[in-house]
Structure 1
Amino acid sequence: MNRLRWAVADGWTVTQRDLLHWVRQPAPVVVGLLMPIMMVLMFGFLFGGAISVPGGGDYREFLLPGMFAMTVAFGVEGTMLAVTTDASRGITDRFRSMPMAPSAVVVGRSGADMLNSMLALLVMVACGLLVGWRWHGSAGAALTAFVLLLLLRFALLWVGIYLGLVFANPGAVMAVQILVWPIGFLSNVFVAPETMPGWLGTIASWNPLSSTVTATRELFGNPGWGGGSWIAQHAMLMAVLWPLVILAVFFPLSVRAFRRMSR
């Protein structure tokens, strides 16, 4: 119990260090918050008039739950960049030389990123309310939707931590960004998978992002299309199962990668 207490204390210290960096250098955080807002305005007002929602409904109400999920998904490269920057500057090596819990570096990073994700979701909710988005379900259902979004973010940040530890070079983040954008767009965030070619629609339906988006639309009471596939009919289950699978794979990989850096 004493070791656990010190591990939590060391992890919180590293989290505070990352938060202080954001306070002193707020530009990357501000840019990261502005990007999804620009996408909401672009798709909601420029392209939204040309897209009809099956069964009727306002396109911006359909769009916002998807943009919430895109916001948490696009944080992967931010996590990776922070980890690779610390590794390339020797900061990670300095942490390893200190009398601190070995888990504090990755736990502190995850804690800081989760706080950043909560802030990003608050900003997106405020933006959504300004452009006309509303939730029509109960407060408990809305809270469940936000929990599912943060669960997906928690799972994906370990993907970023693992990639940052393996590719200890800030230049590798560009390659990840090239991959994250197509994966994010290849989902049901903007259009129905049924409108895509058959094989492409199947890939989009099985995208973990699509399950979270479908589940949150249902919980918020926003318009959406469920589809007739098994994955679409069990979106609520898969919105929990997908993050757990991702976490089960990348958490131990991250721990192993960090231990290998210590050798």
Structure 2
Amino acid sequence: MSMLAYDGTAMLGRQLRRVRNNPGLLILSQSMPISMLLFFGYVFGSALAMPGREYRSFLVPGLLVATAAGGIMTGMFQAAQDTHRGVRDRLRTLPMSRAAVPLGQALADLVTTAAGTVPFLLVGLAMGWRIEGSALDAVEAVGLLLLFRFACTWVGIFLGLLTGSEEAAGQLGGATFMLPLLSNAYIPTGNLPGWLRALAEWNPISAVTTALRDLFGNAPVPGGAAWPVAHPVAGSLAWCAVLLALFAPLAVRRYAHG
């Protein structure tokens, strides 16, 4: 365990230096969610039945979770890039824990996501969104959001190691944009057809989004029939546990054995 902690910290530093040396990508990844918030908040907010401010209160938690789900795409691309360029093979020759490299990547992504959440929330506040729950609930909401991002990053790391190609990872990563659309992140699911509503409510993004809305005290929506949405905090924790228990060992094994 001490070896994993030492090696994981070293790989965390490597990944953070990688982010620092590519500021353009960092700026793009941090500014895109804010751009989407402004677009969806003012364009969709005027087109939907919800009044503008009410829709923005509904939207901010949804976009936070949609951005967290983007950890699948970033984790996939970085892992595939290291594999495609031979970096993984060089790192595997070093005497270090096999779990250190994917762990360092996941932790570095968590750090940059936490930093990027701050300006997003400030823009949301400027648009009229408010934290209407307690401070403790708000802290729990941010913690749950980061846990979900961490779990999604492990999914992406495994898929990136599995594809081993930057091009394939880029194409597959583009498909992840569909995941928030099949959830309650942007629109309420109450008026969807039965089969589509069930699919949306069993989407992990829906559970985490509902949990954040509850914890922030925002725009209450009627609870869904699916258990993860009817019990959003417990459902979100269950989804995170399932994703981590499944994909973290798979990613480490794939990294270690190719």
Q: TM-score range by the shorter chain?
A: over 0.9
18-27 vs 160-169, greater mean Cα deviation: 18-27
The answer for the alignment partner of 2:187 in structure 1 is: 191
Q: Confirm whether residue 157 of structure 1 aligns to residue 153 of structure 2.
A: yes
TM-score (norm 1): 0.93
Aligned ranges 1:1-263 → 2 under 5 Å: 4-53=1-50, 58-231=54-227, 232-261=229-258
Contact kept, 8 Å, 2:73 with 2:173, in 1: the verdict is yes
Gaps of 5+ in 1: none
> Post-superposition shift, 1:57?
6.5
TM-superposition CA deviations, 1:94-119 (whole Å, max 9, x none): 11111222221111111111111111
SS in 1 for 2:218: coil
TM-score (norm 2): 0.95
> Post-superposition shift, 1:224?
3.0
Rounded Cα–Cα distance in structure 1 between residues aligned with 2:216 and 2:61: 8
SS in 2 for 1:196: coil
Rounded Cα–Cα distance in structure 1 between residues aligned with 2:142 and 2:189: 23
Contact kept, 8 Å, 2:138 with 2:216, in 1: the verdict is yes
Contact kept, 8 Å, 1:53 with 1:224, in 2: the verdict is no
Rounded Cα–Cα distance in structure 1 between residues aligned with 2:79 and 2:170: 14
Gaps of 5+ in 2: none
224-233 vs 212-221, greater mean Cα deviation: 224-233
Q: Which amino acid aligns with 2:30?
A: L
Contact kept, 8 Å, 2:59 with 2:185, in 1: the verdict is yes
TM-superposition CA deviations, 1:126-172 (whole Å, max 9, x none): 22112111101111000111111111111111101101111110011
Contact kept, 8 Å, 2:76 with 2:173, in 1: the verdict is no
Calculate percent identity across the aligned residue pairs: 37
> Post-superposition shift, 1:228?
4.4
SS in 1 for 2:177: helix
Rounded Cα–Cα distance in structure 1 between residues aligned with 2:68 and 2:246: 19
TM-superposition CA deviations, 1:5-53 (whole Å, max 9, x none): 2321111111111111211211111111111111111110011012234
Contact kept, 8 Å, 1:80 with 1:164, in 2: the verdict is yes
TM-superposition CA deviations, 1:215-244 (whole Å, max 9, x none): 110110100313341433211210111111
